């Protein structure tokens, strides 16, 4: 597009120069004005005629210039159009790949369909499906997307030797191995600088891509953040305010389930990546190191999976009630700097301590309505 506009300008400029060259040749080729022997009236008439001609020429030139100008305006608009609000350290065109972790669930189709449906640009959001487990039917489903996704396969399908009491956790070991391999592919083979990780049982919201693009510069500029997650662990339908789709928070608990990390963070984690239970490992203080994640009030992912290593029971009792956001929020047009630690903490602390103090029993009885309240506890369950 830009190249086409550029050639239009060149074309216009060429016409302009050619027109002037022709005019010059024409004027040079004319018989000289005011030849000897001709009267004053003739000379005056000639000058007027010439002036009129010049006027016509100027009018034509003006039109040409205006045309060039209008092309240039279109071109400049195209080029300089602020696609995203300018935030510190933002690179509006950073490529944000989506890494889909797949194994043996053909329902990965549901994940991929939504991702492709909502993806604003295949160039800015390449989808990399990493498959473990060597499941042929799942591989066929992934292959059916053709060049809409990149399909890579974890090569080491061998069993992992674990201590006897962990034999039933073999699946968790394989997942950790797969994550390590896939993230190394994204950062070292594909050379991306960031990634959003989703699993084959996650369905995304319409503004999933918008959300991560808007938060990329925040993640990049705040060293007290280590991830952006699309998931609210407490995002059950009955607990969230559906009218506040734009609401975002910082959280000290690593939510996972559709999350973004930077290459620098992977470089830190990779050398000590655990053999199993990687998400619980992420939540340990040695890894988290007091850093937070951004999370939305209303989740931008939900999980529809039950099969697999995760607990089906947990899904039935809890995960299935998480609300998936449906309203598109133009996050990239918003000023999200309130999420930076200093600003966020100041406001958050004020808000918490100005809210009425209640006892946990009052909350459980629902006696205080649904406004903001605060309660104090001395232990996690106290």
Ligand X SMILES: *[C@@H]1O[C@H](CO)[C@@H](O)[C@H](O)[C@H]1NC(C)=O
Residues annotated catalytic, as ranges: 279
Cβ neighbours of residue 322 closer than 8 Å, sequence gap 6 or more:
231, 232, 235, 236, 237, 299, 302, 303
Stretch that binds ligand X, among 97-105, 123-131, 219-227, 332-340 (CB under 6 A): 332-340
- Backbone torsion region of residue 141, taken as left when φ is above 0, otherwise alpha when ψ lies between -120 and 50, otherwise beta: alpha
Shortest Å, Cβ 86 to ligand X: 8
Q: Residue 364 interacts with ligand X (CB under 6 A)?
A: no
> Strand locations in 115-193, DSSP E?
127-131, 150-153
Q: Residue 335 interacts with ligand X (CB under 6 A)?
A: yes
Shortest Å, Cβ 333 to ligand X: 11
Alpha carbon of residue 79 to chain centroid: 20
Single out the residue of 150, 270, 337, 341 in contact with ligand X (rule: CB under 6 A): 337
Q: How far apart are the first and last CA of the chain?
A: 62
Q: Residue 82 interacts with ligand X (CB under 6 A)?
A: no
336 phi, psi to nearest 5 deg: -100, 15
- For residue 323, CA distances in Å to 267, 279, 295, 344 come to 34, 22, 14, 25
Q: Which is nearer to ligand X, 307 or 347 (CB)?
A: 347
Stretch that binds ligand X, among 19-27, 123-131, 336-344, 355-363 (CB under 6 A): 336-344
Give the whole-angstrom CA distance, residue 51 versus residue 60: 14
Give the whole-angstrom CA distance, residue 228 versus residue 243: 22
Shortest Å, Cβ 297 to ligand X: 18
- For residue 74, CA distances in Å to 1, 3, 16, 82, 354 come to 11, 12, 19, 14, 52
Shortest Å, Cβ 194 to ligand X: 23
Interface with ligand X (CB under 6 A), residue total 4
Of 196, 189, 225, nearest in space to 212 by CA? 196
Q: Which is nearer to ligand X, 313 or 335 (CB)?
A: 335
Shortest Å, Cβ 342 to ligand X: 10
Strand partners, 203: 302
Stretch that binds ligand X, among 4-12, 76-84, 303-311, 333-341 (CB under 6 A): 333-341
Give the whole-angstrom CA distance, residue 294 versus residue 221: 13
Stretch that binds ligand X, among 3-11, 143-151, 337-345, 366-374 (CB under 6 A): 337-345
Q: Which is nearer to ligand X, 89 or 343 (CB)?
A: 343
Q: Residue 343 interacts with ligand X (CB under 6 A)?
A: yes
Q: Which is nearer to ligand X, 85 or 170 (CB)?
A: 85
Nearest residue to ligand X by CB is 335
Single out the residue of 338, 345, 352, 363 in contact with ligand X (rule: CB under 6 A): 338
Q: Which is nearer to ligand X, 101 or 214 (CB)?
A: 214
For residue 365 the two structure tokens come to: 């009885």
Shortest Å, Cβ 211 to ligand X: 18
Q: Which is nearer to ligand X, 335 or 365 (CB)?
A: 335
- Site residues, ligand X (CB under 6 A): 335, 337-338, 343
């Amino acid at each position: 597009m830009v190249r086409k506009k550029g050639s239009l300008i060149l074309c216009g400029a060429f016409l302009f120069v050619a027109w002037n060259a022709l005019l010059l040749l024409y004027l040079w080729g004319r018989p000289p004005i005011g030849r000897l022997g001709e009267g004053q009236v003739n000379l005056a008439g000639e000058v007027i005629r010439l002036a009129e001609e010049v006027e016509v020429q100027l009018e034509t030139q003006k039109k040409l210039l205006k045309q060039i100008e209008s092309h240039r305006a279109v071109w400049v608009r195209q080029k300089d159009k602020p696609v995203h609000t300018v935030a510190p350290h933002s690179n509006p065109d950073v490529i944000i790949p989506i890494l889909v972790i797949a194994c043996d669930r053909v329902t990965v189709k549901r994940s991929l369909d939504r991702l492709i449906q909502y993806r604003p640009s295949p160039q800015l959001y390449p989808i990399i499906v990493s498959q473990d487990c060597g499941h042929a039917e799942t591989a066929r489903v992934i292959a059916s997307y053709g060049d809409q996704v990149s399909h890579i396969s974890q090569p080491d399908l061998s069993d992992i030797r674990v201590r006897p009491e962990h034999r039933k956790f073999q699946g968790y070991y394989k997942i950790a191995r797969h994550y390590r391999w896939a993230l190394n592919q994204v950062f070292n083979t594909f050379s991306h600088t960031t990634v959003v990780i989703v699993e084959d049982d996650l369905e995304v919201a319409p503004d999933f891509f918008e959300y991560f693009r808007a938060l990329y510069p925040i993640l990049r500029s705040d060293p007290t953040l280590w991830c952006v997650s699309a998931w609210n662990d407490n995002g059950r339908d009955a607990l969230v305010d559906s009218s506040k789709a734009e609401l975002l928070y910082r959280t000290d608990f690593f939510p996972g389930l559709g999350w973004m990390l930077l290459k620098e963070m992977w470089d830190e984690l990779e050398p000590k990546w655990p053999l199993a239970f990687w998400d619980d490992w992420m939540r340990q203080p040695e890894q988290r190191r007091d850093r937070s994640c951004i999370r939305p009030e209303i989740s931008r992912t939900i999980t529809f999976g039950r099969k697999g290593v995760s607990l089906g029971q947990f899904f039935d009792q809890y995960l299935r009630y998480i609300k998936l956001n449906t309203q598109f929020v133009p996050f990239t047009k918003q000023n999200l700097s309130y999420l930076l630690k200093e600003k966020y903490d100041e406001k958050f602390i004020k808000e918490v301590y100005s809210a009425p103090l209640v006892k946990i029993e009052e909350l459980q009885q629902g006696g205080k309505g649904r406004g903001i309240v605060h309660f104090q506890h001395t232990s996690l369950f106290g």
